Amino acid sequence: MGDSREGRVLRKIGGVAYWAGGAPVMARLPAAIGYRLACWRGDWLFRRHAAERTELAANLRQVLGSQLSPAAAQDVTREWFRLASCEAVDVKRLRHSALPLRRLVEIRGREHLETALAGGKGAILCSAHFGSFDSAFSLLNPSGYPVTTIGRWQHKYTAGLSAAERRFWALVYAKPLQRLRQRPNIEPWPGHLDVAARAAAVLRANEVVTICIDAPPLDSDQARAVAVPFLGGQASLLPGIVTLAQVTGAPVLMTFLHRCADYRHQVLEISAPLPTGGDTATAFARCAAEVSATITRSPAHWRYWASTTDLVTLGLVPPLRDRSAAVARSVAVAS
Protein backbone atom coordinates (compact mmCIF):
# COMPACT_ATOMS: atom_id res chain seq x y z
CA MET A 1 0.00 0.00 0.00
CA GLY A 2 1.61 3.25 -1.10
CA ASP A 3 1.51 6.61 0.61
CA SER A 4 -1.23 7.90 -1.71
CA ARG A 5 -4.30 9.65 -0.38
CA GLU A 6 -6.29 6.44 -0.81
CA GLY A 7 -3.62 4.53 1.06
CA ARG A 8 -3.72 6.96 3.97
CA VAL A 9 -7.51 6.81 4.12
CA LEU A 10 -7.46 3.00 4.11
CA ARG A 11 -4.84 2.99 6.88
CA LYS A 12 -7.03 5.31 8.95
CA ILE A 13 -10.07 3.11 8.41
CA GLY A 14 -8.03 0.05 9.33
CA GLY A 15 -6.81 1.73 12.52
CA VAL A 16 -10.29 2.81 13.53
CA ALA A 17 -11.72 -0.67 12.86
CA TYR A 18 -8.95 -2.29 14.88
CA TRP A 19 -9.26 -0.02 17.90
CA ALA A 20 -13.06 0.02 17.85
CA GLY A 21 -13.70 -3.62 17.00
CA GLY A 22 -10.68 -5.91 16.74
CA ALA A 23 -8.69 -4.97 19.82
CA PRO A 24 -11.66 -4.99 22.23
CA VAL A 25 -12.50 -8.54 21.10
CA MET A 26 -8.87 -9.66 21.36
CA ALA A 27 -8.69 -8.16 24.85
CA ARG A 28 -11.52 -10.45 25.97
CA LEU A 29 -9.93 -13.60 24.61
CA PRO A 30 -7.42 -15.60 26.64
CA ALA A 31 -4.23 -13.53 26.65
CA ALA A 32 -2.18 -16.08 24.70
CA ILE A 33 -4.69 -15.99 21.85
CA GLY A 34 -5.45 -12.24 21.98
CA TYR A 35 -1.82 -11.18 21.78
CA ARG A 36 -1.07 -13.83 19.15
CA LEU A 37 -3.79 -12.32 16.98
CA ALA A 38 -2.38 -8.84 17.61
CA CYS A 39 1.02 -10.04 16.43
CA TRP A 40 -0.53 -11.50 13.28
CA ARG A 41 -2.14 -8.15 12.61
CA GLY A 42 1.25 -6.50 13.14
CA ASP A 43 2.84 -8.87 10.63
CA TRP A 44 0.07 -8.14 8.16
CA LEU A 45 0.61 -4.37 8.55
CA PHE A 46 4.34 -4.87 8.15
CA ARG A 47 3.81 -6.61 4.82
CA ARG A 48 1.01 -4.34 3.62
CA HIS A 49 2.25 -0.86 4.60
CA ALA A 50 5.33 -0.66 2.43
CA ALA A 51 5.85 3.10 2.68
CA GLU A 52 5.62 3.15 6.48
CA ARG A 53 7.81 0.05 6.72
CA THR A 54 10.46 1.59 4.48
CA GLU A 55 10.43 4.90 6.36
CA LEU A 56 10.71 3.14 9.71
CA ALA A 57 13.60 0.91 8.64
CA ALA A 58 15.39 3.87 7.08
CA ASN A 59 15.03 5.89 10.29
CA LEU A 60 16.35 2.99 12.34
CA ARG A 61 19.40 2.66 10.10
CA GLN A 62 19.92 6.42 9.96
CA VAL A 63 20.00 6.78 13.76
CA LEU A 64 21.42 3.49 14.94
CA GLY A 65 23.72 3.17 11.93
CA SER A 66 26.20 0.35 12.12
CA GLN A 67 24.48 -1.17 15.14
CA LEU A 68 21.82 -2.55 12.80
CA SER A 69 22.31 -4.52 9.60
CA PRO A 70 19.60 -4.10 6.95
CA ALA A 71 18.18 -7.49 7.93
CA ALA A 72 18.18 -6.55 11.62
CA ALA A 73 16.43 -3.27 10.79
CA GLN A 74 13.70 -5.25 9.02
CA ASP A 75 13.33 -7.51 12.07
CA VAL A 76 13.03 -4.51 14.38
CA THR A 77 10.51 -2.93 12.02
CA ARG A 78 8.35 -6.07 12.02
CA GLU A 79 8.59 -6.15 15.81
CA TRP A 80 7.58 -2.47 15.96
CA PHE A 81 4.35 -3.24 14.07
CA ARG A 82 3.63 -6.16 16.39
CA LEU A 83 4.15 -4.07 19.52
CA ALA A 84 1.94 -1.29 18.15
CA SER A 85 -0.85 -3.82 17.63
CA CYS A 86 -0.33 -5.30 21.10
CA GLU A 87 -0.60 -1.82 22.64
CA ALA A 88 -4.24 -1.57 21.61
CA VAL A 89 -4.97 -4.87 23.35
CA ASP A 90 -3.21 -3.54 26.47
CA VAL A 91 -5.44 -0.47 26.54
CA LYS A 92 -8.57 -2.57 26.07
CA ARG A 93 -7.50 -4.85 28.94
CA LEU A 94 -7.63 -1.84 31.28
CA ARG A 95 -11.36 -2.45 31.80
CA HIS A 96 -12.81 -2.55 35.32
CA SER A 97 -9.90 -2.13 37.73
CA ALA A 98 -7.39 -3.12 35.03
CA LEU A 99 -7.10 -6.62 36.46
CA PRO A 100 -7.00 -8.27 33.00
CA LEU A 101 -3.80 -6.31 32.27
CA ARG A 102 -2.41 -6.22 35.80
CA ARG A 103 -2.31 -10.01 35.83
CA LEU A 104 0.14 -9.85 32.93
CA VAL A 105 2.43 -7.09 34.21
CA GLU A 106 5.09 -7.64 36.83
CA ILE A 107 6.21 -4.48 38.62
CA ARG A 108 9.89 -4.61 39.54
CA GLY A 109 11.50 -1.97 41.75
CA ARG A 110 8.34 -1.17 43.68
CA GLU A 111 10.58 -0.83 46.75
CA HIS A 112 12.35 2.12 45.11
CA LEU A 113 9.03 3.90 44.66
CA GLU A 114 7.98 3.07 48.23
CA THR A 115 11.26 4.45 49.58
CA ALA A 116 10.93 7.58 47.46
CA LEU A 117 7.39 8.27 48.69
CA ALA A 118 8.46 7.65 52.27
CA GLY A 119 10.54 10.81 51.87
CA GLY A 120 7.28 12.77 51.69
CA LYS A 121 8.12 14.81 48.58
CA GLY A 122 6.35 12.67 46.02
CA ALA A 123 8.13 10.93 43.19
CA ILE A 124 8.73 11.70 39.55
CA LEU A 125 8.59 8.64 37.31
CA CYS A 126 10.54 9.51 34.23
CA SER A 127 9.88 7.46 31.11
CA ALA A 128 9.74 7.62 27.33
CA HIS A 129 7.39 6.87 24.45
CA PHE A 130 8.52 3.30 24.89
CA GLY A 131 6.23 0.28 24.66
CA SER A 132 2.81 0.65 26.26
CA PHE A 133 3.99 3.51 28.45
CA ASP A 134 0.51 5.04 28.73
CA SER A 135 -0.99 1.77 29.96
CA ALA A 136 1.88 1.47 32.43
CA PHE A 137 1.06 4.89 33.91
CA SER A 138 -2.59 3.91 34.21
CA LEU A 139 -1.72 0.64 35.92
CA LEU A 140 0.00 2.41 38.76
CA ASN A 141 -3.14 3.85 40.34
CA PRO A 142 -4.92 0.49 40.78
CA SER A 143 -1.58 -0.80 42.04
CA GLY A 144 -1.75 1.71 44.87
CA TYR A 145 -0.09 4.85 43.51
CA PRO A 146 -2.29 7.76 42.38
CA VAL A 147 -0.72 9.12 39.22
CA THR A 148 -0.72 12.47 37.48
CA THR A 149 0.84 12.49 34.03
CA ILE A 150 2.45 15.56 32.52
CA GLY A 151 1.78 15.26 28.81
CA ARG A 152 -0.41 16.22 25.91
CA TRP A 153 -2.76 13.64 24.44
CA GLN A 154 -1.50 12.95 20.96
CA HIS A 155 -4.93 13.14 19.34
CA LYS A 156 -5.18 16.76 20.45
CA TYR A 157 -2.16 17.96 18.47
CA THR A 158 -1.59 15.51 15.62
CA ALA A 159 -1.96 17.48 12.42
CA GLY A 160 -4.51 16.45 9.81
CA LEU A 161 -7.05 14.83 12.14
CA SER A 162 -10.70 15.76 11.75
CA ALA A 163 -12.80 16.71 14.78
CA ALA A 164 -14.52 13.31 14.53
CA GLU A 165 -11.17 11.52 14.56
CA ARG A 166 -10.05 13.49 17.60
CA ARG A 167 -13.25 12.54 19.41
CA PHE A 168 -12.76 8.91 18.40
CA TRP A 169 -9.23 8.71 19.79
CA ALA A 170 -10.28 10.53 22.94
CA LEU A 171 -12.95 7.87 23.40
CA VAL A 172 -11.04 4.69 22.57
CA TYR A 173 -7.57 5.69 23.79
CA ALA A 174 -7.49 8.56 26.26
CA LYS A 175 -10.69 7.78 28.15
CA PRO A 176 -9.82 4.27 29.38
CA LEU A 177 -6.32 5.40 30.31
CA GLN A 178 -7.52 8.52 32.09
CA ARG A 179 -10.31 6.71 33.96
CA LEU A 180 -7.83 4.61 35.92
CA ARG A 181 -5.46 7.45 36.74
CA GLN A 182 -8.25 9.34 38.49
CA ARG A 183 -6.21 12.50 38.01
CA PRO A 184 -6.41 14.64 34.88
CA ASN A 185 -3.25 14.97 32.85
CA ILE A 186 -1.35 18.20 33.24
CA GLU A 187 -1.06 19.28 29.62
CA PRO A 188 1.85 21.64 28.91
CA TRP A 189 0.38 23.71 26.11
CA PRO A 190 2.16 26.94 25.15
CA GLY A 191 1.18 29.80 27.44
CA HIS A 192 -0.02 27.58 30.28
CA LEU A 193 1.94 29.13 33.11
CA ASP A 194 0.57 26.93 35.87
CA VAL A 195 1.87 23.58 34.55
CA ALA A 196 4.92 23.28 36.79
CA ALA A 197 3.07 24.70 39.80
CA ARG A 198 0.33 22.08 39.39
CA ALA A 199 2.94 19.34 39.13
CA ALA A 200 4.62 20.70 42.25
CA ALA A 201 1.28 20.61 44.08
CA VAL A 202 0.90 16.92 43.18
CA LEU A 203 4.37 16.22 44.52
CA ARG A 204 3.67 18.21 47.69
CA ALA A 205 0.68 15.89 48.21
CA ASN A 206 3.24 13.05 48.11
CA GLU A 207 1.83 11.54 44.95
CA VAL A 208 3.44 10.35 41.74
CA VAL A 209 4.05 12.45 38.65
CA THR A 210 4.89 10.63 35.41
CA ILE A 211 6.44 12.16 32.33
CA CYS A 212 8.04 11.11 29.06
CA ILE A 213 11.20 13.11 28.46
CA ASP A 214 11.77 12.11 24.84
CA ALA A 215 9.01 14.19 23.26
CA PRO A 216 10.12 16.52 20.44
CA PRO A 217 9.93 20.10 21.74
CA LEU A 218 7.22 22.35 20.32
CA ASP A 219 8.47 25.37 18.38
CA SER A 220 7.57 27.58 21.33
CA ASP A 221 9.74 25.45 23.64
CA GLN A 222 12.85 25.24 21.44
CA ALA A 223 14.64 27.97 23.39
CA ARG A 224 14.48 25.87 26.56
CA ALA A 225 15.69 22.66 24.91
CA VAL A 226 19.16 21.32 25.59
CA ALA A 227 21.30 19.10 23.38
CA VAL A 228 22.18 15.83 25.09
CA PRO A 229 23.86 12.64 23.89
CA PHE A 230 21.09 10.33 22.71
CA LEU A 231 21.10 7.19 20.54
CA GLY A 232 24.61 7.83 19.35
CA GLY A 233 23.92 11.43 18.35
CA GLN A 234 22.67 14.62 19.96
CA ALA A 235 18.99 15.12 20.69
CA SER A 236 17.22 18.34 21.53
CA LEU A 237 15.10 17.66 24.61
CA LEU A 238 13.40 19.62 27.38
CA PRO A 239 15.12 19.31 30.76
CA GLY A 240 12.19 20.65 32.78
CA ILE A 241 11.85 17.48 34.81
CA VAL A 242 15.20 18.14 36.47
CA THR A 243 14.23 21.72 37.34
CA LEU A 244 10.98 20.42 38.81
CA ALA A 245 12.90 17.88 40.89
CA GLN A 246 15.39 20.50 42.06
CA VAL A 247 12.69 22.97 43.07
CA THR A 248 10.46 20.43 44.84
CA GLY A 249 13.09 18.03 46.17
CA ALA A 250 11.21 15.11 44.60
CA PRO A 251 13.32 12.11 43.55
CA VAL A 252 13.42 11.07 39.89
CA LEU A 253 13.09 7.37 39.07
CA MET A 254 13.30 5.88 35.60
CA THR A 255 10.39 3.67 34.52
CA PHE A 256 10.03 1.46 31.47
CA LEU A 257 7.52 -1.18 30.43
CA HIS A 258 9.15 -4.04 28.51
CA ARG A 259 7.18 -6.64 26.61
CA CYS A 260 8.40 -10.21 27.05
CA ALA A 261 9.09 -12.65 24.22
CA ASP A 262 5.64 -14.22 24.56
CA TYR A 263 4.12 -10.75 23.86
CA ARG A 264 1.46 -11.06 26.57
CA HIS A 265 3.59 -10.67 29.69
CA GLN A 266 5.29 -7.36 30.46
CA VAL A 267 7.67 -6.07 33.10
CA LEU A 268 7.39 -2.57 34.51
CA GLU A 269 10.82 -1.68 35.83
CA ILE A 270 11.25 1.18 38.30
CA SER A 271 14.82 2.25 38.98
CA ALA A 272 16.45 3.65 42.09
CA PRO A 273 16.45 7.47 42.19
CA LEU A 274 18.86 9.23 39.86
CA PRO A 275 20.99 12.11 41.16
CA THR A 276 19.48 15.41 40.02
CA GLY A 277 21.69 17.90 41.84
CA GLY A 278 24.08 20.36 40.25
CA ASP A 279 23.94 21.64 36.72
CA THR A 280 20.53 21.09 35.08
CA ALA A 281 21.87 20.00 31.70
CA THR A 282 24.27 17.49 33.24
CA ALA A 283 21.62 16.03 35.52
CA PHE A 284 19.17 15.81 32.63
CA ALA A 285 21.79 14.11 30.46
CA ARG A 286 21.83 11.28 33.02
CA CYS A 287 18.08 10.77 32.56
CA ALA A 288 18.39 10.95 28.78
CA ALA A 289 21.24 8.42 28.88
CA GLU A 290 18.97 5.95 30.68
CA VAL A 291 16.29 6.41 28.04
CA SER A 292 18.84 6.09 25.25
CA ALA A 293 20.32 2.88 26.68
CA THR A 294 16.86 1.37 27.11
CA ILE A 295 15.86 2.17 23.52
CA THR A 296 19.16 0.82 22.21
CA ARG A 297 18.56 -2.48 24.02
CA SER A 298 14.99 -2.81 22.68
CA PRO A 299 14.65 -0.45 19.71
CA ALA A 300 11.31 -1.85 18.52
CA HIS A 301 9.65 -0.46 21.64
CA TRP A 302 10.32 3.18 20.71
CA ARG A 303 7.36 4.93 19.11
CA TYR A 304 9.21 7.70 17.25
CA TRP A 305 10.88 5.48 14.64
CA ALA A 306 7.70 5.80 12.58
CA SER A 307 7.77 9.60 12.50
CA THR A 308 10.56 11.19 10.51
CA THR A 309 9.14 14.61 11.36
CA ASP A 310 9.56 13.96 15.08
CA LEU A 311 13.06 12.54 14.59
CA VAL A 312 14.00 15.68 12.66
CA THR A 313 12.63 17.89 15.45
CA LEU A 314 14.60 15.87 17.97
CA GLY A 315 17.70 16.48 15.86
CA LEU A 316 18.38 12.78 15.36
CA VAL A 317 17.99 12.81 11.58
CA PRO A 318 18.63 15.75 9.23
CA PRO A 319 15.74 17.40 7.38
CA LEU A 320 14.88 15.75 4.07
CA ARG A 321 16.51 18.46 1.92
CA ASP A 322 19.81 18.02 3.83
CA ARG A 323 19.63 14.26 3.33
CA SER A 324 19.09 14.74 -0.40
CA ALA A 325 22.07 17.06 -0.53
CA ALA A 326 24.19 14.56 1.39
CA VAL A 327 23.24 11.79 -1.03
CA ALA A 328 24.00 14.04 -4.00
CA ARG A 329 27.40 14.89 -2.52
CA SER A 330 28.24 11.24 -1.92
CA VAL A 331 27.21 10.36 -5.48
CA ALA A 332 29.37 13.18 -6.82
CA VAL A 333 32.36 12.03 -4.79
CA ALA A 334 31.85 8.41 -5.85
CA SER A 335 31.71 9.33 -9.52
Partner 1 sequence: METIIKDYISQELVRDPELLPLADEASLLDSGILDSLSLLQLVVFLEERFAITVGDADLLPENFASVNTICAYLRAREPAKQAAHG
The contact set with partner 1 (CB under 8 A) reads: 188, 192-198, 200-201, 223-224, 240, 243-244, 247
Q: Look at the alpha carbons of 171, 42, 27, 303 in this order and tell me if their dihedral is positive or negative.
A: negative
Compute how many other C-beta atoms are within 10 angstroms of the C-beta atom of residue 212: 21
DSSP code of residue 243: H
**Among 331, 334, 150, which residue's Cα sits nearest to residue 238?**
150
Sort 335 into a burial class: Cβ within 10 Å, 0-12 / 13-18 / 19+. exposed
Question: CB-based burial of residue 110 (10 Å sphere; 0-12 exposed, 13-18 middle, 19+ buried)?
Answer: middle
How far is CA 104 from its chain centroid?
20
Closest CB to partner 1 among 101 and 288? 288
300: Cβ contacts below 8 Å, ≥ 6 apart = 76, 77, 79, 80, 82, 83
CA 29 to CA 95: how far, in whole Å? Answer: 13
Q: List all residues 6 or more positions away from 179 whose beta carbon is below 8 Å from its beta carbon.
A: 94
Whole-number Å distance between alpha carbons of 176 and 180: 7
Query: Which is it for strands 226-230 and 233-237: parallel, antiparallel or unpaired?
Result: antiparallel
Secondary structure (DSSP) of 303-320: GGGG-HHHHHHHTSS--H
Q: For partner 1, which is the closer residue by CB, 194 or 262? A: 194
Q: For residues 62 and 236, which CB has a smaller minimum distance to partner 1 in the complex? A: 236
Residue 204: its H or E element: helix 195-204
- The least distance separating partner 1 from the CB of residue 191, rounded to whole angstroms, comes to 8
- Nearest residue to 40 (alpha-carbon basis) of 59, 18, 60: 18
